[in-house]
């Protein structure tokens, strides 16, 4: 049985005034939840603020990106070890926005996974196809290529220590969620690809769905056999919406 994991990706949102009520609201609602992992990924400058708020709680802290490098002359970058140092447990790697807008290649993403693991963080490795790729029938080929780079760079054992997020790009921030059947098909495909390398790893790795997941569609997505949680953008910015998704995930184990 894989423990569901729901993580909020705040993206470029938040402020020192807004973060506190949001985090306290999530912590308050979490007292009634059991059996799932929950995390939030604020912008980098707020990690320390949120780290204090979640200290000694079950709410995990994550970052949205990390450097490929450990240290050195890389102006503006933040190393995985620094994220760990200020209290992060997770780091999102290879989000489609970073791939598309900031030029992150499969090779860069693979290196970042290695950097995160080396620093003791749990990478949340994002994969997913664009609308053009889906319509061209390339969904499986794209996801296969994205995963293959990480397997080649870090070994299949790396998947014992990371979380995968399948995020179809066309469903992110669009309100157009993948149907439970569409999402399940890709999640099963991902597990199948990993099983070609190691069946135990394939069975144990947690695969989140991300892309317009909301309280009202979470339950049917999370009911799918290979969907083990969610990576939540817009709905993670309101405590009640985020908690609605967390409750749906908790119900799958209750
Ligand atoms: P939305 O939930 O806003 O569609 O974003 C999903 C996402 O990109 C999470 O990483």
pLDDT of 143 above 90? yes
CA angle 117, 119, 121 (to 5 degrees): 60
At which residue do the structure tokens 């992992």 appear?
37
State which ligand 1 atom lies nearest to the alpha carbon of 235: 2
Q: Of 185, 182, 204, give the one whose Cα is nearest residue 194.
A: 204
Distance 195 CA to ligand 1 centre (A): 27
Please report whether residue 246 resides in a domain.
no
Residues belonging to the active site: 95, 167
Q: What would the pLDDT profile of 157-184 be if each residue is shown by its tens digit?
A: 999 999 999 999 999 989 899 999 999 9
Please report whether residue 245 resides in a domain.
no
The model's pTM is 0.98
Mean of pLDDT over the chain = 97
So what's the pLDDT on residue 218? Answer: 98
CA distance 143 to 88: 27
CA distance 154 to 111: 8
CA distance 79 to 85: 10
pLDDT of 187 above 90? yes
Domain of 20 in residue numbering reads as 5-240
Distance 58 CA to ligand 1 centre (A): 22
Please report whether residue 9 resides in a domain.
yes
Name the H helices within 31-138. 47-54, 80-85, 96-101, 106-118, 131-135
Beta-carbon count within 10 A of 63 CB: 25
State which ligand 1 atom lies nearest to the alpha carbon of 175: 4
* Phi, psi for 63 (deg, rounded to 5): -110, 165
Does residue 212's CB lie within 6 angstroms of at least one atom of ligand 1?
yes
Q: What would the pLDDT profile of 78-129 be if each residue is shown by its tens digit?
A: 999 999 999 999 999 999 999 999 999 999 999 999 999 999 999 999 999 9
Please report whether residue 253 resides in a domain.
no
Residue 7: exposed, middle, or buried by beta-carbon count in 10 A (0-12, 13-18, 19+)?
A: buried
CA distance 171 to 165: 13
pLDDT of 1 above 90? no
Please report whether residue 120 resides in a domain.
yes
Please report whether residue 252 resides in a domain.
no
Q: How many domains does the chain have?
A: 1
Q: What would the pLDDT profile of 4-42 be if each residue is shown by its tens digit?
A: 999 999 999 999 999 999 999 999 999 999 999 999 999
Distance 72 CA to ligand 1 centre (A): 32
pLDDT of 254 above 90? no
Does residue 231's CB lie within 6 angstroms of at least one atom of ligand 1?
yes
Please report whether residue 249 resides in a domain.
no
The CATH number for 59's domain is: 3.20.20.70
Please report whether residue 166 resides in a domain.
yes
Q: Whose CA is nearest to atom 7 of ligand 1?
A: 233
So what's the pLDDT on residue 175? Answer: 86
Q: Are 141 and 188 in contact (CB under 8 A)?
A: no
- For a pLDDT cut of 90, what percent of the chain falls above it? 98
């Amino acid at each position: 049985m894989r423990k569901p994991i729901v993580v909020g990706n705040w993206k470029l949102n938040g402020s020192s005034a807004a973060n506190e009520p949001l985090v306290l609201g999530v912590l308050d609602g979490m007292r009634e939840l059991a059996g799932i992992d929950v995390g939030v990924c604020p912008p980098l400058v707020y990690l320390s603020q949120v780290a204090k708020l979640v200290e000694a709680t079950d709410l995990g802290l994550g970052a949205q990106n990390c450097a490929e490098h450990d240290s050195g002359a890389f102006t503006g970058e933040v190393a995985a070890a620094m994220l760990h140092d200020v209290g992060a447990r997770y780091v999102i790697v290879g989000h489609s926005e970073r791939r598309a807008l900031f030029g992150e290649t499969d090779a860069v993403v693979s290196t970042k996974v290695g950097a995160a693991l080396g620093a003791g963080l749990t990478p949340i490795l994002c994969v997913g196809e664009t609308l053009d790729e889906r319509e061209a029938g390339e969904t499986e080929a794209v996801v296969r290529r994205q995963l293959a780079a990480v397997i080649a760079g870090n070994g299949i054992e790396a998947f014992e220590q990371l979380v995968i997020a399948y995020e179809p790009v066309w469903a992110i921030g669009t309100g157009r969620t993948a149907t439970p059947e569409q999402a399940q098909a890709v999640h099963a495909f991902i597990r199948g690809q990993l099983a070609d390398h190691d069946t135990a790893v394939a069975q144990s790795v947690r695969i989140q769905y991300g892309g317009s997941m909301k309280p009202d569609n979470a339950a049917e997505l999370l009911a799918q056999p290979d969907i083990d949680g969610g990576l939540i953008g817009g709905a993670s910015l309101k405590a009640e919406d985020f908690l609605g998704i967390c409750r749906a995930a908790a119900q799958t184990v209750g």
